[in-house]
């Protein structure tokens, strides 16, 4: 019965996990994990080079001794390996055949007949064939940020040599005995303690600062929190993240859109892959439309001075609305128009193998202060957008667009739709799209840890998602 209930609970859990498709997914491949070993080496060497051990005091027969100022140096790590460990939901870090020196000062006191003699000096102990294995788990904090934790650490010291000046053979034998016993275990345990502390504190704190929420403008954010514990296989680990865009003042409002299944990708040649599905874009489109943010007002007060002539009904060149729509110039010469654009329904967003597409459904209202609205058109504008990565942000720009006028109401008589279409396209090309590109060029921060830099990123467009495939370099080691 217990087994049946357990299996049932497992099935329910799996079912719940499967139904919550991620909007954003990160995959770190075995190649990326292998790169992490070099980061681990660079981080561990200075730590292992600065270990301080407790003083050792004792007596052996007529000899008393004190070993003090025990410190490590000259760490040599020729072989290091890191691999995925699905059974432990994490990684295994192995250091093989590395060397480390222990420097110390000694003071001994011994009795010869009725006299007590003392001797002091310095000693260097060379340890070789040191092996260390650390199992590192990746769990979750309550806020769903990844939690790095050392699950176990074991070590072994193969051999050692002691070097000091003098002919005190009996002292050499004393030190050898100590380093085979008490100090041998102390050093091994101290190395594990330092490595475990580096994982549980230094590395864990850096990973916890991974971006789990980012701004998308002033009032909008994107939620990168984890949907479920990390997924581990022999070839990669994955983070499944929400990717929900929200209005900051009402972040818990339910959205009528949900993420679809993430398209598969079987290439592991890069260290790092990041899926951005249609879901963040669709939720952004819904938020911006319902909150009335897809509106644009073009007046002489909102345009830069060098662009204000576009709104004139009379001009000497082709960059004014009167030239593009001659009837405006005839009916309202020497006037200035205002142009208002509003979305009339939620834009459609799609990602295909051709790239990112957005279809805007809007109403264009062209008015003149003395006459009110003179032209009202329902238009559909289809944008093709190219994405790119700059540092830790995804940016973009409009690559091309096309417009369709679905209906037109005019108070200045019949106007050729081609004329209106040309005017709208001119406004888009010269004014609106440059402003859109300026916003898109600021971009949105990606869910990365600090100091992780992409190396030669490329974009892969699939039906339903785009993937950033890249190698990485970590620059957080000083």
* Residue 276: predicted pLDDT: 98
Distance CA 148, CA 208 (A): 8
**What CATH class is the domain 31-208?**
alpha beta
pLDDT at residue 1 tops 70: no
Distance CA 432, CA 26 (A): 34
pLDDT at residue 427 tops 70: yes
Share of the chain above pLDDT 90, in %: 71
For residue 19, name the pLDDT band (cuts at 50, 70, 90): low
**What mean pLDDT is reported for the chain?**
89
In the chain, CATH 3.15.20.10 sits at 278-468
Share of the chain above pLDDT 70, in %: 92
pLDDT at residue 174 tops 80: no
232, HSE (Cβ side, Cα atoms, 13 Å): 16
Distance CA 175, CA 106 (A): 10
- Of the two residues 161 and 28, the one the predictor is more confident about is 28
Contact status, residue 148 vs residue 200, Cβ threshold 8 Å: yes
Contact status, residue 401 vs residue 426, Cβ threshold 8 Å: no
- Lowest mean pLDDT of 119-123, 428-432, 434-438, 448-452, name the range: 119-123
For residue 125, name the pLDDT band (cuts at 50, 70, 90): confident
For residue 159, name the pLDDT band (cuts at 50, 70, 90): confident
Contact status, residue 332 vs residue 368, Cβ threshold 8 Å: yes
**What CATH class is the domain 278-468?**
alpha beta
For residue 7, name the pLDDT band (cuts at 50, 70, 90): very low
* Residue 5: predicted pLDDT: 29
* Residue 124: predicted pLDDT: 86
Q: Which residue has the tokens 């279809």?
A: 359
* Residue 14: predicted pLDDT: 35
pLDDT at residue 476 tops 70: yes
pLDDT at residue 305 tops 90: no
Q: Mean pLDDT, to the nearest integer, of 165-176?
A: 63
Mind listing the pLDDT tens digit for each residue in 264-274?
Answer: 999 999 999 99
β-strand partners of 83: 92
Q: Mean pLDDT, to the nearest integer, of 39-64?
A: 89
Distance CA 313, CA 300 (A): 13
In the chain, CATH 3.15.10.10 sits at 31-208
The pTM of the full predicted model, rounded to 2 decimals, is 0.87
Mind listing the pLDDT tens digit for each residue in 335-374?
Answer: 999 999 999 999 999 999 999 999 999 999 999 998 999 9
Q: Is 319 left (phi over 0), alpha (psi -120 to 50) or beta?
A: alpha
* Residue 3: predicted pLDDT: 35
Neighbours of 272 (CB within 10 A): 22
pLDDT at residue 478 tops 50: no
β-strand partners of 244: 223
pLDDT at residue 167 tops 90: no
């Amino acid at each position: 019965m217990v087994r049946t209930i357990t299996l049932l609970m497992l099935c329910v859990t799996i079912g719940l996990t499967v139904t919550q498709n991620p909007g954003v997914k990160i995959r770190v491949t075995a190649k990326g994990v292998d790169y992490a070993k070099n980061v681990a080496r660079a981080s561990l060497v200075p730590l292992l080079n600065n270990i301080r051990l407790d003083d050792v005091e004792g007596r052996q027969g007529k000899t008393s001794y004190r070993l003090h100022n025990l410190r490590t140096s000259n760490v040599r790590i020729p072989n290091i390996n890191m691999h995925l460990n699905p059974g432990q939901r994490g990684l295994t870090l192995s250091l093989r055949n590395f060397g480390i020196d222990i420097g110390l000062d000694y003071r001994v006191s011994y009795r010869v007949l009725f006299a007590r003699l003392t001797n002091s000096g310095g000693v260097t102990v060379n340890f070789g064939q040191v092996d260390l294995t650390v199992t590192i788990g990746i769990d979750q904090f309550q806020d769903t940020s990844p939690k790095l934790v050392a699950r176990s650490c074991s070590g072994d010291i193969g051999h050692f040599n002691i070097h000091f000046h003098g002919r005190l053979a009996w002292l050499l034998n004393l030190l050898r005995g100590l380093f085979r016993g008490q100090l041998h275990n102390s050093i091994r345990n101290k190395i594990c303690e330092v490595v475990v502390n580096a994982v549980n504190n230094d590395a864990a704190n850096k990973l916890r600062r991974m971006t789990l929420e980012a701004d998308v403008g002033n009032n909008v954010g994107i939620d990168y929190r984890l949907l479920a514990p990390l997924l581990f296989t022999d070839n990669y680990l994955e983070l499944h993240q929400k990717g929900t865009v929200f209005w900051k003042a009402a972040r818990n409002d339910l959205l009528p859109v949900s993420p679809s299944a993430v398209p598969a990708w079987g290439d592991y040649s890069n260290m790092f892959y990041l899926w951005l599905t249609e879901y963040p874009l669709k939720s952004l489109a819904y938020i911006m439309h319902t909150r009335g943010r897809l509106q644009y007002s073009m007046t002489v007060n909102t345009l830069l001075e060098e662009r204000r002539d576009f709104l004139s009904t009379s001009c000497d060149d082709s960059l004014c609305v009167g030239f593009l729509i001659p009837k405006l110039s005839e009916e309202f010469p020497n006037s200035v128009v205002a142009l208002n654009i509003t979305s009339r329904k939620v834009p459609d967003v799609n990602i295909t193998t051709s790239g990112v597409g957005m279809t805007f459904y809007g109403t264009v209202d062209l008015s003149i202060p003395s006459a009110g609205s003179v032209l009202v058109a329902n238009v559909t504008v289809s944008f093709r957008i190219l994405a790119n990565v700059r540092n830790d942000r995804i940016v973009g720009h409009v690559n091309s667009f096309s417009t369709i006028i679905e209906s037109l109401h005019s108070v200045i008589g019949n106007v050729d739709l081609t004329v209106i279409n040309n005017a709208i396209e001119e406004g888009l090309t010269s004014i609106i799209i440059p402003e859109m590109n300026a916003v898109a060029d600021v971009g949105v921060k990606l869910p990365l840890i600090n100091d992780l830099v992409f190396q030669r990123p490329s974009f892969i467009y699939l039906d339903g998602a785009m993937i950033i495939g890249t190698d990485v370099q970590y620059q957080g080691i000083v």
